[in-house]
Amino acid sequence: MMTHWLLLVDLAAFSTGLSAFVLIVAQVMSEIGRFLVALIFLLLTFASSISVLDHGYFEMRDIPNSIVALFSITVLLFEDDYRTVLYEPALLTAVFLFVLSSSILLMNLLIAQLNNTYVFIYQDMVGFARLNRANIIVSVLTGLGKDYFQKFIDSLGFDKNLEFNQGDIGINGGIQVLEPANAHTVLEDTVIRFGGSCSEDLKWPEDSKADQDPMSKVEALAKKVLSKVTHDTRNARMGGRGGSSMGGSGLSGSKDSNDRSGNSGGASGVSGVGSGSD
């Protein structure tokens, strides 16, 4: 019955998210395996140590019973209340060290490992799910008959031309899916159309807009912006220099006029004093 239910896990391929979750669980099983190996090592170590102690605790009288008791403590299924262990200091110390190593250290380390593994696999989980679905499809197709598969291909109608709009016939080899016109608004028609015959022997007409490299458009736009910034910077520098020179000339002119008026006033005052004394 377990095998039967495990085989039903393949039905998760119908959902990409569920299939990705199943793949993540399968990937983190290796981390759980490492945790179990470390836990078994700790159980054997502490069970062997406790079995050689001189104590009267019946639940840990030998190695097998000590392993069962310590594992029950790890998974929180131990029913004893530790009252009898309180009178055995060495046994109590060993139990505390085991709880510190298993329940605190290993459990938290397992959580950190699972978290790190999940983050690493989450980046590619959709791709893993699609690959898993493709693998299942390929394995199923190997069991189909050729006539049955050919009938399925003919029902898809790949030989019929697709119709973009009413009367606008396009290429073949696809499956037409209708959608509302306002679902994806297109302001510019991306279908490139050329007049003339559609014969495959004719050379494909050249179109400057269609053949233009997108990177050349970006380069031309960058050059245009750079030239504009350079021109604006140059104009700003020229305007700053003109303003400073005009301000300097105005200040010097006013200073010279003040000096001249002061000197003339002083000269007239001196001459006036001299004439009065005479």
Cα radius of gyration rounded to whole Å, the chain: 45
Count Cβ atoms below 10 Å from residue 265 Cβ, excluding itself.
10
The predicted structure's pLDDT at residue 272 = 37
Is residue 66 within 8 Å of residue 94, measured between CB atoms?
no
Number of H helices, E strands in the chain: 9, 2
16/19 Cα distance (integer angstroms): 5
Tokens of residue 78, six digits: 């131990």
73/55 Cα distance (integer angstroms): 19
**What are the beta bridge partners of residue 44?**
none
The predicted structure's pLDDT at residue 12 = 83
Is residue 13 within 8 Å of residue 133, measured between CB atoms?
yes
Q: What is residue 84's DSSP assignment?
A: T
Q: Which of 95, 93, 49 is nearest to 73 (CA)?
A: 95
Indicate the Cα dihedral angle 206, 207, 208, 210, nearest 10°. -120
- φ, ψ dihedrals at 187, nearest 5°: -80, -25
Q: Per the confidence metrics, is the pTM higher than 0.85? A: no
Collect all residues with Cβ–Cβ distance below 8 Å to 130 and sequence separation of at least 6. 16
Count Cβ atoms below 10 Å from residue 106 Cβ, excluding itself.
17
In tens digits, the chain (278 residues) has pLDDT values of: 999 898 888 788 888 888 888 888 887 888 888 899 999 999 999 999 988 888 877 778 889 988 988 888 888 887 776 666 777 888 888 888 998 988 888 888 888 888 888 877 777 787 888 888 888 888 888 888 888 888 888 888 888 888 877 777 778 888 888 888 788 777 776 767 777 776 778 777 776 554 556 677 788 888 888 888 888 888 777 776 554 444 444 434 444 444 444 444 443 333 333 334 33
